[in-house]
Amino acid sequence: MKKFLSIFFLLLAFASSAQVEKAIPPRPDPPKLVNDLTGNFLTPEQVTALERKLVAYDDSTSNQISVVIVSDLKGYSAADYAIALGRAWGVGNKNFDNGIVVLISTGGAAGNRDAFIAVGYGLEGVIPDLTADAILDNELIPNFKAGNYYRGLDEATDALIKAAEGKYKAPAGYHKKGKGISPLLVIVIVIVLIIFLGGIGGGGGGGYVSRRGYTGWPGGGWIGGGGWSGGGGGGGWSGGGGGFGGFGGGGFGGGGAGGKW
């Protein structure tokens, strides 16, 4: 029975993942780190400035930060969408899994639009969920609510760069408000209990459950191929540099944080 349930939920997870991936837009060609798929959230000049900064950062560290702006999440959660996009596009280096996806959805009314920062395996140690939360709460969302979209993305990506270097500090007095337990997390916990409390000691494959309730399965370990490959003391990323050479096949688990604006 335990084996049957394991196979059933494994297939269910694969089916769910496949459905999300169908909603993901194709990888940009030519490749770009900043992709405003709404066409009007940022001005062309703002896209160019942000792209130049993130390409220079990629060139100097190999860490890739991709900003993706969509008008609709196709019915999926921002977390599932951002993580699936990071995997499908391969944001980050496949040897280090050092990609970050900053997903913005413009769909919905004010205060109910989604933003999510998905962090690749290899950067989860230096950008844990609490840090991603702090960057959303202090840099991105306040600017967005004030209508300063470019400034929010510029400051949030600067903060992510600092965090990858171990230099980010949330403003004094900042304390993250507690969030209720995600219904998805409750479902995943129940599934895990059903599978593993049968008392049968098989040491089989199975998957893992991320901190934010995203379920992953075989096809890559929890730690993907090494740690952070960031390039030490900051500053080099702000230069000119050439064009973006393309995504490197980075992997994503469930690390990251989301919020509403």
Cα distances from 36 to residues 9, 71, 183, in angstroms, run 35, 9, 31
Neighbours of 59 (CB within 10 A): 18
Residue with tokens 């993907």: 224
Please report the pLDDT score of residue 95 as a whole number: 96
Please report the pLDDT score of residue 174 as a whole number: 87
Q: What is the pLDDT of residues 21-49, one digit of tens each?
A: 788 999 999 999 999 999 999 999 999 99
CATH code for residues 31-170+247-260? 3.10.310.50
Which comes out higher in pLDDT, residue 192 or 25? Answer: 25
Q: What is the pLDDT of residues 87-135, one digit of tens each?
A: 999 999 999 999 999 999 999 999 999 999 999 999 999 999 999 999 9
Instruction: Tell whether the model's pLDDT for residue 214 goes beyond 50.
Output: no
Q: What pTM does this model have? A: 0.73
Structure-block tokens of residue 196? 């593993």
Q: In the sheet that 34-36 helps form, which strands lie side by side, from edge to edge?
A: 34-36, 64-70, 99-105, 114-120, 252-260
Please report the pLDDT score of residue 13 as a whole number: 42
Residues with Cβ within 8 Å of residue 56, at least 6 apart in sequence: 236, 237, 238, 239, 240, 241
Residue 201 one-letter amino acid: G
CA angle, 88 then 91 then 95, to 5°: 110
Mean pLDDT over all residues of the chain? 80
Counting beta carbons within 10 angstroms of the beta carbon of residue 217, is it exposed (0 to 12), middle (13 to 18) or buried (19 or more)? middle
Q: What is the pLDDT of residues 72-97, one digit of tens each?
A: 999 999 999 999 999 999 999 999 99
Instruction: Tell whether the model's pLDDT for residue 63 goes beyond 90.
Output: yes
Helix axes 183-196, 2-23, angle to 10 degrees: 150
Residues with Cβ within 8 Å of residue 136, at least 6 apart in sequence: 115, 117, 156, 257, 258, 259
Please report the pLDDT score of residue 85 as a whole number: 98
* Domain spans in the chain, listed from the N-terminal domain onward: 31-170+247-260
